Amino acid sequence: MRTALTSLDQVLYPPIEPNRTGRLAVDELHTLHWESCGNPAGIPVIFIHGGPGAGTSPKSRRFFDPAKYHIVLLDQRGAGQSTPLGECRENTTPLLISDLERLRELLGIERWLVFGGSWGSTLSLAYAQAHPERCLGLVLRGIWLVSDEEIDWWLYGMRQFFPKEWEAFAQQVPEGERSDLLAAYHRRLANDDPAVHTPAARAWSRYEGSCLQLIPDPVTVDSFGEDAIALGVGRLEAHYFHHRAFLQPGQLLAGVTKIAHLPCVIVHGRYDVICPVRYAFALADAWPSAKLVVVPDAGHSSYEPGIAAELVKATDAFTLADDGGFVA
């Protein structure tokens, strides 16, 4: 049994450096950062980060055996090292899907394993349902299905578990606007003036960072308040919340029929406050062949040891299967 002393380094693969990095200009406005690591002749896998707007990090490479995987990472529009940071124009789910296809074609990959958590699970599902023929399977974490109920929970429900953190978030806007926090934040985050959008982005991002883990980590919370992360997370999350991720209501569950033949592992923390576990069960109910793993001592973050261990277990299992699936 895993103990409380288990560290992240005990469950992730050792740090590695990219073999290749590049800049992909997808239009006149956006240029995307990408990298590839591991074995160029290995199983291709695309790491789809969360947020939206959070970007990738060196730790993102470590969920995969570098001897067996060709690991591809992409910072989505407005996120991470892609430019311009926090840009919401020409930033929609269909465009992000088309970016993934452009990168796949650029790298000469026919099919790849799709790995995504939180918003990354949303985009992974949307991508796979648009291009099932390009997917070997999916590994998903922290399921977010973009329902109004989930958005309302993020804006108001999380205060049941993190009341002081919610108060700091809500008090960033005048009391008269707090009945519609999304509209209040969206107005400020869409404002071109840094004096308006920067403090709003910091407050939004820090609120999320405060609620990520079963046991909050002050270092994580502080990092989410830094402008390099906050601008992408704050502006893009509000943008995608406001537009319901540019998806139809119930689209991702209805679209499971398009990908039901693909192998899938779903990993979710029992005490995930950002994305409550009931939505992972809803996805598993719609996808009976998918394997759902509920981690009993974890929240939302993929970097909690219990969740990281199950994600690595899933990617390892895919390399062992003879039938293009997962070894139980």
Please give the distance of CA 93 from its chain centroid, rounded to a whole number: 13
DSSP letter for each residue of 238-289: HHHHHTGGG--TTHHHHGGGGTTTS-EEEEEETT-SSS-THHHHHHHHH-TT
How far apart, in whole angstroms, are the C-alpha atoms of residue 39 and residue 66?
6
Which residues partner with 46 through β-bridges?
A: 72, 114
Select which of 70, 272, 301, 302 is catalytic: 272
Catalytic site includes residue 147: no
Catalytic site includes residue 300: yes
Q: CA-CA-CA-CA torsion for 328, 11, 122, 43, nearest 10 degrees? A: -60
Query: Would you call 291 helix, strand, or coil by DSSP?
Result: strand
Alpha-helix runs per DSSP H in 148-256: 148-155, 163-170, 181-190, 194-210, 218-224, 227-242, 251-254
R_g over Cα of the chain: 19
Select which of 33, 99, 300, 302 is catalytic: 300
What's the order of all strands across the beta sheet hosting 112-117? 20-25, 31-38, 69-74, 43-48, 112-117, 135-141, 264-269, 291-295
How far apart, in whole angstroms, are the C-alpha atoms of residue 41 and residue 287?
31
How far apart, in whole angstroms, are the C-alpha atoms of residue 293 and residue 296?
9
Select which of 118, 205, 210, 301 is catalytic: 118
Cβ atoms 229, 206 nearer than 8 A: no
Strands 31-38 and 69-74, bridge-based pairing: antiparallel
Catalytic site includes residue 49: no
Active site residues: 118, 272, 300
